[in-house]
Structure formats: C-alpha cells, structure tokens
C-alpha cells in the first residue's frame, strides 16, 4: 500500500494557483451579481406590476427546483443550439449568479418587508418617490439586516463554484484533476485543494465578519 507523498504537489503549484485565481474571480463576480440581481428580483416580486411579477416568480420557482449543474448545462450547451454562444467562463458566472440570486431574493424580500413602514412614510412625506424611497431607505436597511444570511450564501457559492469544472473551466478542482491525470496521486491533490478551499473560506468569513462589525457600529 502506498502512503501519501505530498512531494508530488509542488511542481504543480502554478497550475493550482491558476485554478485558485479562477475560483476566486468567478466566485467574487458571481456573488456580486447574485446580490444585485437578488435585490431586483425581490423588488419586482414585492412591487412590480403583474406582467413583470409573475414571470419573475416562475423563474425563481424554476431555478429553486432544478440542480445547478443542469442549469449550467442548459446555459452552456443548450443556448448554443438557438444561436446564443456564451464562453465557458461567462456561462459559469451567469449560472452561479442566477442560481444564487433567487435564494438571495427570498432573503432580501423578507428583509425588505421587515423594514419599519414608518420610515417609508417619513421618506414619502419628505418628497421621496416610491422608487427613491426603496433604493435610498428600504433596500440599504434590508441589506444591512440580511448581511449574515447573504454572507452564508456567498460561502455556499464559493464551494459550489467547483461545479463549473463540468463545463471545462480550469478552476481549482479542474486544475487538481489535470495534475492527477499526470501523477495518478488523487489523495494528495484533493487534500491540497480542500486545504486551499478552507483557507479561502476563512478569509471570506473573516471579511464578512469585519463588514458585519462595521455595519453594527454604524447603526
């Protein structure tokens, strides 16, 4: 029986580093887009006209009820059949963003509803329009109150980003698989990748906790 031999890992640090870079980049962009899209979905569901509200509700129901991997395949392999050819990285970002946007929308919808209606009435009495009130008064408070839950979704998105390897993106897991195909040492590389994910998660969680503390002090 062969033991673990981590000496096979250093020659592949450049490959793993490239994979880590793509993982962080795709996760960061997707997290930002998913929050922005989540705000839009939540506002449309709560305040949109029926012609916009019902398609968004259906879209959210559809994305909550289907696997992320299937959604990625439909975006990357399916859309090309109707003439929409999206690069793998773009498809990965779109898939991750939309998948997590629907969950963020549910979180933000609860946060928006929880904002004291007295503040909305005060803003309207000062001459703010409906959408001005929402974007200047309601949404910032909803984001503040739901920050821990949104942060948890960002952590989940980071871990789920490994699925984009299935459409050929050389992120961290895919990079490890390339190294394994040459060395036939799966445990060493998968354990290394697990450690890298854990480190990135710790950094992300530390950053989120720092933001939460700052937000708490500003209340």
1 domain residue, yes or no: no
Angle, in degrees to the nearest 10, between helices 88-114 and 147-160 = 160
Q: How many domains does the chain have?
A: 1
24 domain residue, yes or no: yes
Non-local (6+) Cβ contacts of 18 within 8 A are 170, 175
What is the domain-level CATH number for residue 178?
Answer: 1.10.3720.10
**Residue spans of the chain under pLDDT 70:** 1-2, 217-219
86 domain residue, yes or no: yes
3 state SS for the chain: CCCCCHHHCHHHHHHHHHHHHHHHHHHHHHHHHHHHHHHHHHHHHHHCCHHHHHHHHHHHHHHHCCCHHHHHHHHHHHHHHHCCCCCHHHHHHHHHHHHHHHHHHHHHHHHHHHCCHHHHHHHHHCCCCHHHHHHHHHHHHHHHHCHHHHHHHHHHHHHHHHHHHHHCCCCHHHHHHHHHHHHCCHHHHHHHHHHHHHHHHHHHHHHHHHHHHHHHHCC
Residue 45: give the domain boundaries.
6-217
204 domain residue, yes or no: yes
| pLDDT tens digits, 167-198 | 989 899 999 999 999 999 999 999 999 999 99
65 domain residue, yes or no: yes
Angle, in degrees to the nearest 10, between helices 13-47 and 147-160 = 140
pLDDT of the residue at 16? 95
103 domain residue, yes or no: yes
144 domain residue, yes or no: yes
Name the pTM for this structure.
0.90
CB of 112 closer than 8 Å to CB of 139:
yes
């Amino acid at each position: 029986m062969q033991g673990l031999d981590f000496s096979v890992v250093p020659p592949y640090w450049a490959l793993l580093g490239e994979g880590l870079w793509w993982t962080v980049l795709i996760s960061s962009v997707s997290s930002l887009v998913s929050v922005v899209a989540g705000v839009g979905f939540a506002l449309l569901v709560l305040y949109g006209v029926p012609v916009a509200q019902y398609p968004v509700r259906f879209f959210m129901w559809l994305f909550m009820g289907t696997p992320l991997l299937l959604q990625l395949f439909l975006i990357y392999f399916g859309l090309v059949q109707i003439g929409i050819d999206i690069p793998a990285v773009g498809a990965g970002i779109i898939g991750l963003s939309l998948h997590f946007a629907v969950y963020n929308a549910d979180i933000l919808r609860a946060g928006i509803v929880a904002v004291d209606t007295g503040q909305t009435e005060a803003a309207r009495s000062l001459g703010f329009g409906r959408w001005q009130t929402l974007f200047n008064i309601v949404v910032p408070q909803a984001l503040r109150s739901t920050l821990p839950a949104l942060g948890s979704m960002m952590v989940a998105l980071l871990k789920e980003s490994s699925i984009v390897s299935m459409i050929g993106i050389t992120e961290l897991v895919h990079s490890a698989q390339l190294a394994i195909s040459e060395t036939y040492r799966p445990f060493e590389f998968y354990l290394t990748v697990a450690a890298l994910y854990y480190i990135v998660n710790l950094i992300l969680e530390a950053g989120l906790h720092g933001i939460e503390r700052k937000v708490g002090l500003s209340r």
